[in-house]
Homo-oligomer: A and B are copies of this chain.
Amino acid sequence: MAVHKILVDVMLKPEILDPQGQAVANALPNLGYPSPVGLRIGRHVELALEAADADAALEQATKIADTLLANPVIEDYTVRLA
């Protein structure tokens, strides 16, 4: 059993409005930056799991992402080794 580091990124699905990202996008011109073409904000999760191998760790992280880290109705997630 070794410790594997895994990164999970959770984003709202493209068709779901992102008010947090919109607020930041609207603030940029006021700070002297050009308006961005797109800006969406999600969650970035760094997980360290004890597992037999990397595949087992990825499988477990995917289950965790699906049940606890993301809401699959409105969010997409990606799971990868760090």
Q: Tell me the A residues contacting B by CB distance below 8 Å.
A: 3, 5, 9-11, 21, 24, 27-28, 31, 33-34, 36-50, 60, 63-64, 67-69
Classify the secondary structure of A's interface with B. Answer: strand
Report Cα–Cα, A41/B8, bound state, in Å: 9
Report Cα–Cα, A33/B11, bound state, in Å: 23
Q: Let me know if A33 and B3 touch, CB within 8 A.
A: no
Report Cα–Cα, A34/B68, bound state, in Å: 14
5 examples of A-B residue contacts, CB within 8 angstroms? A9-B44, A24-B68, A38-B47, A43-B43, A44-B44
Report Cα–Cα, A24/B43, bound state, in Å: 13
Interface centre among A21, A27, A46 (most CB of B within 10 A): A46
